Structure formats: structure tokens, C-alpha cells
Amino acid sequence: MSLVVFTALTGLVCADTPINPVLGAVAILCIAVGAGASGALNMWYDADIDAKMRRTRGRPVPAGRVQGADALALGIVLSLFSVMLMGMALNWLAAALLAFTIFFYAVIYTVWLKRSTAQNIVIGGLAGALPPVIGWAAATGTAPLNAWLLCAIIFMWTPPHFWALSLYTSEDYAKAGVPMMPVVRGAPSTRRQILVYALLFVPLCLAPAVTGLGGAAYFGVAAAGGAVFLLLAWRLFRSHAGEAQGQRTSDGLYDVRAGARDARNLFAFSILYLSLIFATLLGEHLLGAQPLHLLSR
């Protein structure tokens, strides 16, 4: 949720179009409420498998604090209100993109992909990648290439991020019957695919310095962080993470045994790296820094 709000805000600010602060705040509120609605619908539908996994069993529906029907009703009502308000307050392109994002997460990912294919989080990742495009569209009424570049960066970030996590939580996914990549294809294949996605993801993170979106600070942060990302992905590829049972030492996401440290390290750094590059873009556009336009020099 915080990542959704943060990346949407970055998209809205990077559009470099003056927007009334009240309307900007309403746009971010609509995106946050839409994300909450998607979450409620997901938790209603997935209550059975959430109850079987350590990471998710404390959620309100499996824990019995909220009735499934109430979560469903809340999800539908919040979806309708957020889309309607986005359309009336900002524009209907942003509203349509928000509606599509909610539909994609709640129906395409949750109902269809999650339980049926190991590519679930690859394709489903589009829902998490769209918020900067919605933010950009809210500010301008358009969705140009640079907005979709931000979307592509998050889209390519999702597989190495989630697969690194699933390498040391695969016992939970197997117990719940969710076909995550380590469960279906095994740990070595997952580590190889993480490396391939990392090799595609890092150059993509440098692209904003070419397309006039990012400045010198962005290029420096993306390049230095990208090098670390690649190093951690390489170390994970060379490790045996995901091959031993009982890799976690507690319910926490970061407490792992020695064999799973490389997976935990990439998972943790992936969050930091994505946050850093979006924060740098946000800072540059707020401060009016000059973009690089590397190719046109």
C-alpha cells in the first residue's frame, strides 16, 4: 500500500504539470482507497489460503476479526467510490486506469492467475506497476511514454523481488497450494530466472536518464544501486537458497537461516532500491533539477 501511494505520487509529480494541491491530494487518496479496495477483495477471496500461510494468517478475515461478506462489500463499495471520485475530481482516463488496476488485481491476479500458474506474480505485477501511470494521468489527462517507463520499471522489479521472498517462504506456498515458482520449478530454476530478470531490470532503471525523465542524481543512484542489485542477484544465483527445509527462524520476513541469507538480502535490497530511485526522481522534479537527455548529447 505505501509503495502504491509513493509511486503514484512520483508519477503525479514527474508529470511536471501544475495541479491544484487539493486535487492532487484527492488523486492520491483515490489511488490509496482503490488499493485498499483491491486488498479487501483479495482478502475475501483468498481467506482459505491466507489462513494456511504464516505471513498472511493474521489478516482480518482468516483471523476472524472481519466477516468475508463484509470484506467483499467493503471492497466493492470502496472501488466504486474511488473510481467515481477520480473521474469527477480529476479526469476519466485516470479513473479508467484505476478501475482497470482494481479489476486486474482482484479478478485477473487473485481469482485467475494466483492459483493456476507459476507466472502469477509476473503477469499480476502489472496491477502493482500501474499507480505511477494513474498519478501521471491524474495530473495531465494523458499517459505518455515516460509514465509507462515507470510502470515498466516496477513490472520488471516484481519477479526478482517476490521470487527472492518465495525462495525462503516456499514451504508456506506449498502448504497453501499456491504454485509459486520455487514450488513448481524448483529453487535452481527460480534463482536463474531471478538473475535474468535482474539483468533486464537494472538497464531499464537507467532508461529515465535517456528519456528526459531523470537527472544526474537519478543516474548516479540508479547505476550504483543497480550494480549492488546485480551483485546480490549473482550471489543468490550462485547460492543454494531455497533448497533446504525450514529456512526461516521466526514469522518475521527477515529472520532466516544462513542458507537463505542471499535470498533475504536481495529481497530486502530490492525494496530499498526501488524506493531510492523513485525518491530520487521525486526529489529531482520537486527541486526542478535538469533531466539528462543522455542520448541527445
Partner 1 sequence: MSDPNRESEAESKARRGRNIALAVGLILFVILVFVVTIVRLGGNVVTKPL
Looking at the Cβ atoms of 138 and 232, the one nearer to partner 1 is 138
Q: Can you tell me which residue has the cell 491466507?
A: 50
Looking at the Cβ atoms of 22 and 287, the one nearer to partner 1 is 22
Q: How far is CA 213 from the centre of its chain?
A: 20
Residues that bind partner 1 (CB under 8 A): 20, 22-23, 26, 70, 81, 85, 88-89
Looking at the Cβ atoms of 27 and 97, the one nearer to partner 1 is 27
Looking at the Cβ atoms of 67 and 142, the one nearer to partner 1 is 67
Looking at the Cβ atoms of 8 and 176, the one nearer to partner 1 is 8
State the distance between the two ends of the chain, measured CA to CA, in whole angstroms: 39
Q: Can you tell me which residue has the cell 481469482?
A: 111
Cβ(200)–Cβ(156) below 8 Å: yes
Cell digits for 18?
501544475
Least CB distance to partner 1 at residue 22 (A): 5
Least CB distance to partner 1 at residue 87 (A): 11
Looking at the Cβ atoms of 22 and 295, the one nearer to partner 1 is 22
| Nearest residue to 3 (alpha-carbon basis) of 204, 286, 279, 284 | 279
What CA–CA distance (Å, rounded) separates 295 from 297? 6
Least CB distance to partner 1 at residue 4 (A): 20
Least CB distance to partner 1 at residue 26 (A): 6
Least CB distance to partner 1 at residue 143 (A): 21
Least CB distance to partner 1 at residue 88 (A): 7
Looking at the Cβ atoms of 68 and 283, the one nearer to partner 1 is 68
Looking at the Cβ atoms of 8 and 113, the one nearer to partner 1 is 8
Torsion of CA 58, 60, 66, 72, to 10 degrees: -130
What CA–CA distance (Å, rounded) separates 243 from 121? 21
- DSSP class of residue 295 equals G
Cβ(166)–Cβ(117) below 8 Å: no
Least CB distance to partner 1 at residue 130 (A): 23
Cβ(280)–Cβ(217) below 8 Å: yes
DSSP string for 49-106: HHTTSTTTTTSTTTTTSS-HHHHHHHHHHHHHHHHHHHHHHT-HHHHHHHHHHHHIII
